[in-house]
Amino acid sequence: MIVLRHPVRALAITVLATAVVVAGLFSAWLAGVHVPGASGATYLRVAKVEPLAGADRAGGAPTEPFFVLLVGNDYRAGVEGKRGDALHVVGVNPQTKQASMLDIPRDTCWRGDKINAANTRGPRASAAAVGDLLGGVPISYVVEVDFDGFIALVDGVGGVDVNVPTRMHDSYSGADFAAGPAHMTGDDALRFSRDRHDFPTGDIKRTENQGLLILEAMRQLQAQMQSATGEFKLLALLGRHAELDGVGLNDLYRLGRVAYSLDATQIDNITIPVAGGSCMGLGAGAAGLFADFRDDGVVSG
């Protein structure tokens, strides 16, 4: 259900896929095509933090690099709060038609606490904390899903194909996958995204796998958008189940115009360097990585 809300209250499949869908929705309305009305449960929330640089008031696409925070929170029945347990920042450079994604382990330290705790204060607090952690990266949008929303989104697009990097058999998350290609339902994808006990590096590897899943989903959604049937299905899914906080259709249309120009197969998935411990400090090379990312939205090293 699309809900416009001001101000505060708002693992995403990806904000770029969302933008592609909204661009099609906007175009369909202009062409006079009937699109299903808003109805149903909220699957994802999109909150605007600050204006896109280089986008004019007439609705032009942004020309300057911009950044989007993807959050998968841990909200579910019996659990208080909405900690950001999946945190990924996508940087987009409209001029070069390139993008990079930084994966942030949830236990990374930020001002004496774990970075995931900031999301309990809302999407804008999470954006401020993550942007500060990354050395001043200005985040324009936050896209957030919880457990149920994540499952429903993946199922709503027909599942996602993932090349599982290694054997996974974890009783905590329920992940049970052989290495190699696998078609995942929403429940499968959530189990894959939550598994950290199968890996020596724990949450670091889990965060990397989450990024892998996001990019695979984005590539497949872009492919679906090439057909009228696939486009209409995605339009209906978003129209019925997205909550917009401070975001207008013009904003998302601008994002969509940029998303159409990106090659999803060329987006780098980079986990930030962290040190050990229950609250992990930043590792060697973090400052240089963040400066490179902040400069133009693309990691070149």
Q: Is 46 exposed, middle or buried (0-12, 13-18, 19+ CB in 10 A)?
A: buried
Domains in the chain, ordered, with CATH? 4-155+229-296 (3.30.420.590)
Alpha helices (runs of H) in 134-185, residue ranges in sequence order: 147-156
Indicate the pairing of strand 98-104 with strand 268-271: parallel
Distances (CA, A) of 146 to 31, 87, 142: 34, 12, 13
Whether the per-residue pLDDT at 194 is higher than 80: the answer is yes
Q: Bridge partners of 139?
A: 67
**Contacts made by residues 272-277, CB under 8 angstroms, sequence distance 24+:** 272/102, 272/103, 272/104, 272/105, 272/108, 272/134, 274/105, 274/108, 274/204
pLDDT at 165 over 50: yes
Q: What pLDDT, in 10s, does the model give residues 57-69?
A: 445 667 889 999 9
**Ordered alpha helix ranges (H), the chain:** 15-30, 123-133, 147-156, 186-194, 203-224, 228-241, 249-259, 286-296
Mean pLDDT value of segment 188-207: 93
- Summarize the confidence of residues 170-178 as an average pLDDT: 96
Residue 181 tokens read as 């290609």
pLDDT number for residue 40? 62
Record the pTM. 0.82
Does the pLDDT at position 80 exceed 80?
A: no
pLDDT in tens, 209-252: 999 998 888 888 777 767 767 666 776 777 678 788 888 766 76
- Mean pLDDT to the nearest integer, 124-152: 93
CA angle 26, 31, 32 (to 5 degrees): 100
How far apart CA 196 and CA 178 sit, in angstroms, is 16
